[in-house]
Every structure is written in structure tokens, then in C-alpha cells.
Amino acid sequence: MTTPLRDLCAVVTGAGRGLGRAEALELARLGAAVVVNDHGRGSADAAGEVVAAIGAAGGRAVAHLGDVADHTTAGDLVDLAVRTYGKLDVLVNNAGILRDRMIFSMSEDEWDAVIRVHLKGHYNTTRFASAHWRERAKATGEPVHGRIVNTSSEAFLAGSAGQPNYAAAKGGIVGLTTSTALALAKYGVTCNAICPRARTRMTRDVFAGIAEPDGTGVDPLSPEHVAPLVGYLASPAAARVNGQLLVVHGGMVAVVDRPRVAAKFDTAEDVFSYEELDALLTPHYADRPAGETFAAAEVLGLRKG
């Protein structure tokens, strides 16, 4: 069996169920010792089951129960990995919640909760993991093996109308990813983001209209389609993959290109006037398809084949 993550330690947040569970199991299968973080009702049983499954397969794992959106708790999570396995090598930020509502109906609490868990949660763990890697690299004068896999979403890319909080948080995670990738590259650390599509407890309402297979095939929305990409990004083979955004589901991985400048206009005067902008921009947008925005809704149509 291939074990590219042998002797490495990985932390996976929100790993008691769904995507995080599949990712933790895959990282362990590839040889990593895994810290299985989970939070919320039933988290102790869920995390314990994942730890037990990894142990039964011959791997090493320990559970961590706590909310990574709490700064101190996130620090404790990284500290547990270092105390238990001597170091941290891989951080998979997966923990999340949904509070879907149209922008004109959304409460402040619904906005704050999603931003806190997704965006602040990603920041918190990244803050402590990056400090650990920087200290190790400075102590030895050599780069370390550090990998961060963040979880964004097609909701950010496509501009999901009923998820303004979630789309904003996931867009913020991409900004955090690219900034972190540039900041940590000199220490041997890579940071990438994935946009997974999977049927989990969190997304059961989102994909409620998509039927599950009748037992004759693999569910294209199974988390098991996503986990191998996380394993790859955690590995030495992905050393040159940094600051990237990848969409993954149903036996397909799509590399998303960075934004490109579509048009540029220069003023003929010292500064733009309203009239000059009207003369330049109004004709430009008159030729654009109705309803086209910066959002890339075409990603929602990506399929294997």
C-alpha cells in the first residue's frame, strides 16, 4: 500500500462526520497520524468512532473535542498534535455550518455565526499551525513539510443567492488561502483551497432534490470523491501546488484559474469625470449578456466526462 504520509501528523477539523470523516480516514490510510477534531452534539461519539476506525485499520489517531472558531481552543488543537505526535505537518480546515437565508431576511446572528465558524475558524487554526512551522524552520534553517488544505465552496464562485453569509465566508477563505500561501512558501509550507460538492449532514437540504444511487453505483456526491484530493495536496508530491483553488466532486477535479482583467479604460484628462465614464462604461456593459456578473455560475455545470 502506498503511504506517502508516513511519519506525518495531520489535523482535520469537523472530522466526526461527512467530508471531514472521509478526509481523516484517507489521510490515515496514506500513513498519517490524525488528530480528529469535532464539535457539537454527539461530537464525542462521532470523533471516537473515527479514531476507532483508524485504529482498527492499523493507524494512529486521537480525538480533540472543541470549537475551532474559539481562538484558544484552536491553539489547544495544534498543541495536542505537537504533544502527541511530536510535530504537525498537515492542517485540513473543514469545520462549518449553514444558516441559509436571502440577504433581505438574514439576521445578524445568522451572518455572524457562519462567518465565525468558517472564516475565523480557518484563521484560528492557520495562525497557530503557521507559527509552529515558522519556529521549526527557523530552528533548523531548513524548510519543513507543511500543508494546509482549506475548504471553500462553489457558493462563492457561483454567487449562491440564498447563501450570502456562506458565500462571503468561503470567498474570504480563498483570500486567506492566497495570502497564507505567499507568506509561508519560504518555510516549505503550501496552502490550497478546495471547493467540494458532497452529500453530508450539513448539505442534506441543499442536495435534497438529487436522488441517491439505488445501490448499483457510487453516489457522485459521496465525500469519498473528495478525500483523495486532500490526501494528494497533503503529500510531498504536491510541493509545487500552492495558492490554488480546485473544484472536486463526482470523480472530477477542476483547476480554477485566477481572475483576469477583461477590459481597461484610461482617462483622456487628468481625472475621470462622470461624463467620460458614462461614455466608456455604458457601451461596454451594454454588450455584455444580461445577468452576467463576476460570479462564475458555469462551475455548477462541471461533471466528469
Indicate which residue of 43, 170, 222, 235 is catalytic.
170
Q: How far is CA 41 from CA 65, 125, 260, in A?
A: 11, 21, 44
Any idea what the Cα angle at residue 24 is, between residues 61 and 166, rounded to 5°?
130
For residue 233, give the nearest of 91, 117, 101, 52 by alpha carbon: 91
Neighbour tally for 301: CB within 10 Å: 7
Q: Render 26-65 in DSSP notation, one character per residue.
A: HHHHTT-EEEEEE-STTHHHHHHHHHHHHHHTT--EEEEE
Residues 153 and 29: their CA atoms lie apart, in Å, by 25
Instruction: State the distance between the two ends of the chain, measured CA to CA, in whole angstroms.
Output: 28
166 belongs to the catalytic site: yes
Active site residue 85: no
153, 160, 222, 235: the catalytic one is 153
Residues 105-115, buried b or exposed e (16+ Cβ, 10 A)?
Answer: ebeeebbebbb
- Cβ-based neighbours of 144, under 8 Å, separated by 6 or more: 89, 133, 136, 137, 187, 188, 189
CA 31 to chain centre: 22
Active-site residue identified among 43, 85, 120, 166: 166
Residue 153 a catalytic site member: yes
| Count of CB atoms situated within 10 Å of the CB of 7 | 13
Residue 104 grid cell: 433581505
Which residues are annotated as catalytic? 153, 166, 170
